[in-house]
Amino acid sequence: FEALFFGRITYTENLARKANRSLEFIWDSSESLGPTSDIFSGAFASGNYGPPGGFCFDMEHCDDVIYDDPRLENYNVPQTMDLFYERCMELAGYQRGNDIILNMGSDFHYANANSWYKQLDKLIHYVNMNGTVNAFYSTPSVYTDEKKKWKGSYEVRKDDIFPLADNPHH
């Protein structure tokens, strides 16, 4: 493996890793294989693999779309961009380096690709107009390559990730 990302880890570990900015780490996965088995690993800040709050663009039970015609009463580009910057800064506060990954879509909220991509195209366009955040379509391998270029250090972890609990008493 080049990298391994956990969609979910136990909630107490997620909270602790967010607090000390160690959601991403090097997993020393085999004592006998040594450094050849080291895997860049990470867990998602949200505790799952869905989009940040306010940015679900599927058909049902999701958030508002981006209304970018200023003539419309529900024009919401400024508010949506403010919320997006807020979410990005929140995520950046949990990780090391300058790059963050945003998962867009989810297992129960990704039935309408046209809706998603139409909204993501708008989101990327308006976000990049400001210049505060550079948003673009990417892949886990591109993200991993950028994180590995970072000059800081990551925690090295030797143990396992389990058990999994989403909340107290689970």
The predicted-structure confidence for 23-52, as pLDDT tens digits, reads as follows: 999 999 888 888 888 999 999 887 778 889
Question: How confident is the model over 116-121, as a mean pLDDT?
Answer: 95
Decide which of 111 and 99 is more confident: 99
The predicted-structure confidence for 64-85, as pLDDT tens digits, reads as follows: 899 999 999 999 999 999 999 9
Q: Where are the beta strands (DSSP E) in the chain?
A: 3-6, 24-28, 38-43, 155-157
Residue 62 above 80 pLDDT? yes
Q: What is the pLDDT of residue 77?
A: 97
Contact 134, 77 (CB under 8 A): no
Residues in the chain: 170
Question: How confident is the model over 54-63, as a mean pLDDT?
Answer: 85
Q: Measuring CA to CA, which residue among 161, 136, 152 is closest to residue 4?
A: 161
High-pLDDT (> 70) share of the chain, %? 100
Distance CA 69, CA 76 (A): 9
Question: How confident is the model over 101-130, as a mean pLDDT?
Answer: 89
Assessment of whether the complete model's pTM goes beyond 0.95: no
The predicted-structure confidence for 87-104, as pLDDT tens digits, reads as follows: 999 999 999 999 999 988
Distance CA 23, CA 43 (A): 5
Contact 41, 53 (CB under 8 A): no
Question: How confident is the model over 3-30, as a mean pLDDT?
Answer: 91
